[in-house]
């Protein structure tokens, strides 16, 4: 999601349950180089269907987009025959949670608490140590996954929000982020 897409979230065309936040430092696929890289900044994207990258708005039977008139910038830029426009948008003018949530609000305080308890750098460091054979790191990583799951359930109840909204507010669960770190090359993990 880009700055140009902010109105889609504010107007309710895209709701938190349709979005996922990828936090700074998480591994993502660099489409230009077709390899995992660490995100230089936070980004928000439309979540896929059933854990896949399949677009949630694509109606296969009708071969239509359910939000065509209100589709985000990258969807408007996507042209299969010429990828230059969409490639040029990669990591530019990104929309972040700070532009969508009031600072000082209860939900923002919860986001800050989550960021302090589950920093991406800690997850990455534990994955590196665990990959190098550290049993202590593997145990700590498992405890962090369990704590994350508990935190999300409590946050959902505290805010009165559906659990599927937590991927937008808090980002991807530690369990998903660790899977991606383990798929990364050790040199990619050690950067930054």
Kindly indicate the confidence band of residue 135, based on its pLDDT and cuts at 50, 70 and 90.
Answer: very high
Q: Per residue in 27-86, pLDDT tens? A: 988 888 888 889 999 999 999 887 667 899 999 899 999 999 999 999 999 988 888 898
Distance (Å, whole) CA 154 – CA 160: 10
Distance (Å, whole) CA 9 – CA 151: 25
Count of beta carbons in the 10 Å neighbourhood of residue 167: 20
CB 72 within 8 Å of CB 3: no
């Amino acid at each position: 999601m880009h700055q140009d897409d902010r109105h889609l979230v504010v107007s309710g065309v895209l709701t938190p349950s349709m979005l996922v936040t990828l936090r700074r430092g998480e591994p993502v696929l660099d489409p230009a180089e077709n390899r995992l890289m660490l995100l230089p900044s936070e980004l928000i994207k439309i979540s896929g269907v059933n854990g896949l990258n399949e677009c949630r708005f694509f109606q296969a039977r009708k071969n239509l987009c359910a939000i065509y008139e209100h589709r985000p910038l990258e969807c408007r830029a996507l042209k299969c025959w010429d990828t230059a426009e969409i490639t040029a948008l990669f990591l530019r003018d990104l929309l972040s949670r700070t532009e969508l949530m009031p600072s000082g609000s209860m939900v923002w305080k919860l986001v800050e608490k989550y960021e302090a308890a589950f920093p991406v750098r800690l997850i990455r460091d534990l994955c590196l140590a665990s990959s190098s054979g550290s049993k202590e790191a593997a145990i700590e990583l498992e405890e962090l996954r369990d704590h994350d799951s508990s935190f999300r359930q409590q946050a959902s109840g505290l805010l009165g929000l559906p659990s599927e909204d937590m991927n937008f507010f808090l980002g991807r669960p530690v369990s998903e982020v660790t899977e991606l770190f383990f798929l990364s090359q050790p040199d990619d993990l050690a950067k930054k």
